[in-house]
Amino acid sequence: MNIKHGKVIRINGPAVYADETGAMNMGDQVLIGELELTGEIIRQDGDISTIQVYEDTTGVKPGEEVVGTNEPLSVELGPGLLSSIYDGIQRPLDKIHEISGSFIGRGISVPKISKEKIWHFIPVAKKGDVVSGNDILGTVQETELLNHKILVPPKVSGTITEMIDEGDYTVEEIIAKVSNDKGEQELKMYHKWAVRIPRPVVQRLEPNIPLFTGQRVIDFFFTIARGGTAAIPGGFGTGKTVTQHQLAKYSDANLIVYIGCGERGNEMTQVLQEFPELKDPKTGLPLMDRTVLIANTSNMPVTAREASIYTGITIAEYYRDMGLHIAIMADSTSRWAEALREISGRLEEMPAEEGYPAYLASRLAEFYERAGRAEVGGKIEKREGSVSVIGAVSPQGGDFSEPVTQHTKRFVRAFWALDKSLAGARHFPSINWNNSYSEYVSDVAEWWKKEGGDFNYQEMRERAMTILQEENRLEQVVKLVGPDALPDRQRLILTTAKLIKEAFLQQNAFHDNDVYCTPEKQLRMMDVILHFHDEAGKIIAKGVPCVQLLSLDIIPRIIRMKTDVPCDKAADISKLKDEIDYVLGDLVK
């Protein structure tokens, strides 16, 4: 490698200016000063480069050497990623702790994935095969939950001239050689990929399969598709992090990439303590066996926070290329945007709204556009994989009109607005049904049709949403004149809306029968509520006062059906319809 050198001429916090760097390239990773602090060239003007440094620059002086690595900021992709805890530029925090203790020292260089660990490699390709990027060379059992596919790097293609036999190897050993017009290339169990460049796919697929989460308010009302994008905005204490924990644990994604981007240290500590102890509901094995954690808390270097979401989504794309479905939990993109704002200020750029840089929207778009469901693979085999991105947004004071929330709404198709008043009333998940939306409902309707059988998902959802919207309008009237002034038909709307909120939207994360809800149970629950609404409407039309309905014992039983009936006995919920008919019929008599 031809090492290129420059020298520091000016320091402004994480922004370092270096001269004599004309031979380096935009986006190159560099090492600065005696401590070899990691940085990235983000601007060039002749021989002078502006470098974004991912570590504390205290003590760096003009005249110190800048060494170019001749490659962009990259991650290493191979066996050993799962169960790891990284900082924003893929440095393993456990290895850093061994070297520097409780505080991250500067200039620490540790292997991104273990180079000493032995893996049992089973070849799939053979000598003479013609391969291209993302074809499978072999497999390694990374964790009990994942058989890791060793892929041909995306930009490599040719004929395999040598293939190693089955056996135990480190990731540094050469497992195959591929010959093409550039000569012979040696392949290992891992390869590098620049974090700011999306990994290629064969073609993008329609987002018509839901990322099923088991949370009724999300799956039934505001669904997200596999390969979809969603935002969870909410003020302090509304449950953003807890909601993402639930999605990480119960969604039907194969793997989870959790990015703690600029959150408080104690909050991230809770994640680091809880995830290794949580059990995967499907297998009973530790949830960490299918999780990669990227921890970049608010007291860590702000520039590494900016890089962390790119590190996370690149790792997710790598596992997607194996034919897996990945869910990214980014907590939170507001802290990432604040990092952009601080760096922009150091670079003396013209600020836009609320001090954020003018390119905030384009950076958010670059991130969310890397989500998607796609056909991946090479010449030998095609596979389907997806990356779903769920980003938390932390608007100050819960103000959804601030720039990060508004720009995020432009690039996501599901918006789960958390409500402080719902959280205060202990209604969780505290997703406000009047302010939230999903554009995936019609896309996944066919899936629900197959799952629901006789139930019409779209019609049921529309009817329930109409009742909730009508209740929201009536609440304004109730505040003025009280519920007794309303006609019985409108009082029934309030009663049914209460049933939808308490029996369906509210979910108990600490109850075994309610923490997760299958598609069948969700449909049967809503069917019972709407059946009650229809039958109650009929007896009100016959002159029975609505006030008599409110005292019926069947109403508490409808509310308790979510906890009384386990998912594997969901059919029992429909028996409530016969009881409703009997009770209401008796009321008419």
CB atoms within 10 A of CB 362: 11
Domain 4-72 is found in CATH 2.40.30.20: yes
φ and ψ at 552, to 5 degrees? -70, 140
36, two tokens: 């070899």
Q: What is the pTM of this model?
A: 0.94
Which DSSP state fits 456? Answer: -
**291-296 and 85-86 beta bridge pairing:** parallel
Give the pLDDT of the chain (589 residues) as one tens digit per residue. 456 789 999 999 899 999 999 889 999 999 999 999 999 999 999 999 999 999 889 889 999 999 999 999 999 999 999 989 999 999 998 888 888 877 777 888 899 999 999 999 999 999 999 999 999 999 999 998 899 999 999 999 999 999 999 999 999 999 999 999 889 999 999 999 999 999 999 999 999 999 999 999 999 999 999 999 999 999 888 888 888 888 988 999 999 999 988 777 777 777 777 777 777 777 778 888 889 999 887 777 888 888 999 999 999 999 999 999 999 999 889 999 999 999 999 888 999 999 999 999 999 999 999 999 999 988 888 999 999 999 999 998 888 999 999 999 999 999 999 999 999 999 999 999 999 999 999 999 999 999 888 899 999 999 999 999 999 999 888 888 888 788 999 999 999 999 999 999 999 988 999 999 999 999 999 999 999 999 999 999 988 888 888 888 999 999 999 999 999 999 999 999 999 999 998 887 7
CA distance 310 to 271: 20
Tell me, which fold does domain 452-588 have in CATH?
Answer: 1.10.1140
128 burial via Cβ count (<10 Å: 0-12, 13-18, 19+): exposed
Is there a cis peptide before residue 429, judged by omega within 30 degrees of 0? yes
CA distance 309 to 371: 12
Tell me, which fold does domain 115-189 have in CATH?
Answer: OB fold (Dihydrolipoamide Acetyltransferase, E2P) (2.40.50)
Per-domain residue ranges for the chain?
4-72, 115-189, 203-439, 452-588
CB atoms within 10 A of CB 312: 30
CATH number for the domain running over 203-439: 3.40.50.300
